[in-house]
Amino acid sequence: MNFKEEYKESIENPTEFWKKQAEAIQWYTPPKTILSQDEKGHYRWFSGGTLNTCYLALDYHIEQGHGEQPALIYDSPVTNTQKKYTFNQFRDEVSRLSGVLRALGVEKSDRVVIYMPMIPEAVMGMLACARLGAVHSVVFGGFAPHELAVRIDDAQPKVLLTATCGIELSNIIPYKPLVDKALELSEFPPEKVLVFERPEAECSMVDGRDHTWASLMADAKAVDPVPVEATDPLYILYTSGTTGKPKGVVRDNGGHAVALKYSMTHLYNAEPGSVYWAGSDIGWVVGHSYIVYAPLINRCTTVLFEGKPVKTPDAGTFWRVMAEHKVNIMFTAPTAFRAIKKEDPDGMLKKKYDLSALKMLFLAGERLDPPTYEWLKGLLDCPVIDHWWQTETGWPIACNPAGIEIFPIKSGSPTFPVPGYKVEILDESGQEVSTGETGNIVVKLPLPPGCLPTLWRDDDRFHESYLSIYPGYYVTADGGYIDKDGYLFVMGRTDDVINVAGHRLSTGEMEEIIGGHPAVAECAVTGLTDELKGEVPVGFVVLKDGVNISNEQLEKEIVALIRSEIGAVASFKRSVVVVRLPKTRSGKILRKTIRQLAKEKNVPTPPTIDDPKILDEIRDVMETEGLTEINSD
For the stretch 91-146, pLDDT in tens is 999 999 999 999 999 999 999 999 999 999 999 999 999 999 999 999 999 789 99
pLDDT in tens, 501-528: 777 687 767 887 898 899 988 788 888 8
Is pLDDT at 585 greater than 60 in this prediction?
no
CB–CB of 116/122 below 8 Å?
yes
Sequence-separated (6 or more) residues with CB below 8 Å from residue 475: 440, 442, 465, 466, 467, 469
Is pLDDT at 496 greater than 70 in this prediction?
no
Q: How confident is the model at residue 568 (pLDDT cuts 50, 70, 90)?
A: confident
How many Å apart are CA 96 and CA 102, to the nearest integer? 10
What is 94-134 written as a DSSP string?
A: HHHHHHHHHHTT--TT-EEEEE--SSHHHHHHHHHHHHHT-
What is the average pLDDT across 418-425?
98
Is pLDDT at 158 greater than 70 in this prediction?
yes
Is pLDDT at 218 greater than 50 in this prediction?
yes
Write down how long the chain is: 633
Single-letter amino acid, residue 93: E
Q: Please, what CATH class does the domain formed by 87-226 belong to?
A: alpha beta
pLDDT in tens, 44-84: 999 999 999 999 999 999 999 999 999 999 999 999 999 99
Q: How confident is the model at residue 495 (pLDDT cuts 50, 70, 90)?
A: low
- Kindly calculate the radius of gyration of the chain based on its CA atoms and give it in whole angstroms: 24
How many Å apart are CA 346 and CA 494, to the nearest integer? 35
Q: How confident is the model at residue 596 (pLDDT cuts 50, 70, 90)?
A: confident
Where do runs of H (alpha helix) occur along 380-533?
459-462, 507-515
Packing angle between helix 370-379 and helix 334-343, nearest 10 degrees?
A: 70
Is pLDDT at 356 greater than 80 in this prediction?
yes
What is the average pLDDT across 578-583?
83
How much is the mean pLDDT over the chain? 92
How many Å apart are CA 292 and CA 619, to the nearest integer? 46
What is the average pLDDT across 392-411?
96
Beta-bridge partners for 125: none
Is pLDDT at 460 greater than 60 in this prediction?
yes
CB–CB of 36/44 below 8 Å?
yes
So what's the pLDDT on residue 407? 97
Q: What percent of the chain has pLDDT over 90?
A: 73
Structure letter (DSSP) for residue 224: P
Please give the sequence-ordered ranges of beta strands (E in DSSP) within 375-494, or none if there are none. Answer: 384-386, 398-399, 416-417, 423-426, 439-444, 473-482, 488-493
pLDDT in tens, 527-550: 888 888 888 999 999 888 788 999
How many Å apart are CA 622 and CA 501, to the nearest integer? 23
Superfamily of domain 500-624: ANL, C-terminal domain (3.30.300.30)
CA distances to 53, 58, 91 from 72, rounded to whole Å, are 17, 11, 11
So what's the pLDDT on residue 367? 73
Ordered by start, the domain boundaries in the chain are 87-226, 500-624
Q: How confident is the model at residue 633 (pLDDT cuts 50, 70, 90)?
A: very low
Is pLDDT at 630 greater than 60 in this prediction?
no
Q: How confident is the model at residue 632 (pLDDT cuts 50, 70, 90)?
A: very low
Please give the sequence-ordered ranges of beta strands (E in DSSP) within 531-622, or none if there are none. Answer: 534-543, 574-577
Q: How confident is the model at residue 580 (pLDDT cuts 50, 70, 90)?
A: confident
How many Å apart are CA 522 and CA 488, to the nearest integer? 38
Chain mean position to CA 81 = 26
So what's the pLDDT on residue 602? 75
Residue 585 class from Cβ within 10 Å (0-12 exposed, 13-18 middle, 19+ buried)? Answer: exposed
Q: Which of 556-560, 569-573, 614-618 has the highest mean pLDDT?
A: 556-560
So what's the pLDDT on residue 459? 96
Q: Which of 341-345, 482-486, 607-611 has the highest mean pLDDT?
A: 482-486
pLDDT in tens, 191-200: 999 999 999 9
pLDDT in tens, 231-261: 999 999 998 765 567 899 999 999 999 999 9
So what's the pLDDT on residue 291? 98
CB–CB of 224/123 below 8 Å?
no
So what's the pLDDT on residue 159? 98
How many Å apart are CA 85 and CA 68, to the nearest integer? 9
So what's the pLDDT on residue 623? 84
What is the average pLDDT across 388-401?
97
**Sign of CA pseudo-dihedral 549, 613, 535, 339:** negative
So what's the pLDDT on residue 534? 82
Q: Which of 126-130, 428-432, 486-490, 612-616 has the highest mean pLDDT?
A: 126-130
3-state secondary structure of 229: strand
How many Å apart are CA 106 and CA 124, to the nearest integer? 15
